[in-house]
Amino acid sequence: MIAIAIISASLASWTTYQVAFERAWILRLDKAGLSVQVERGTSARDLAELFILLGQRGLVVAVLLVAAVWLHRVTGSWHPVALVLLGTLALNIVVAAMKLVMARSRPNSGEPRFLNPDTLGEIGLFPSGHAANAAFSWLVLLYLLSRKGAWPHWASALGGVIAIALTATMSLGSMMLGHHWLTDLATGAFVGWAIAAAFIAGDIKVAWAKKDNWQQAKSITATN
């Protein structure tokens, strides 16, 4: 988890640097992403609207809280709830801070300009809050579920692939709707994974209260 946090944070810093200096390859990549936009009133656009729900803050935080409260009731520990609340708070503070110092042309302008005077003072596009919330939430949910069930390595790996796929699906929906440039979404995902992995690494170091007792009681009941 520490390695994931460091790698993700490094990638977020690197993409931010590349965007800030408007590297030619970044501009070409973002412009290429315009090709996936869909017209209003089409079934593809309706599908994209569903995709972006995977990163809707209210929805994904609600899912996390339900899982955390359920784990609290099962294990007697408040660690799952604290992880969700503190992690979500930290995530949104970091994303908001980055948005405040960034200004970028919207995809409908056709030019992914950075520090565009026309967008100064607006809510920033960079990084994508939806992508950050999706990356953070689905990884934390995977951790919470695996912590309760003591999943085998193959199940955790499969869950990781699913978590990444959900974040990618949400990002595709945002690009189809023309809400974000590709690098907005990639950087948001890196920020989300970095913060999720950092909080998970910290939580792993702390034993959940009563979890061992709950597991022992379960084993005794099964034996009887």
Give residue 203's pLDDT: 85
d(CA 75, CA 69): 10
Burial of 222 (C-beta count, 10 Å sphere; 0-12/13-18/19+): exposed
214-223 average pLDDT score: 43
Bridge partners, 114 (sequence order): 104
Q: How far is CA 51 from CA 7, 82, 110, 125, 134, in A?
A: 26, 28, 23, 18, 11
pTM of the model: 0.86
**Six-digit token pair at 179?**
């809400």
Give residue 215's pLDDT: 46
φ, ψ for residue 104, nearest 5 deg: -140, 140
Per-residue pLDDT tens over the stretch 1-51? 899 999 999 999 999 999 888 888 988 999 999 999 999 889 999 999 999
**pLDDT over 80 (residue 147):** no
**Six-digit token pair at 172?**
């595709």
The upper half-sphere exposure of residue 140, i.e. CA atoms within 13 Å in the direction of its Cβ, equals: 37
Give residue 224's pLDDT: 44
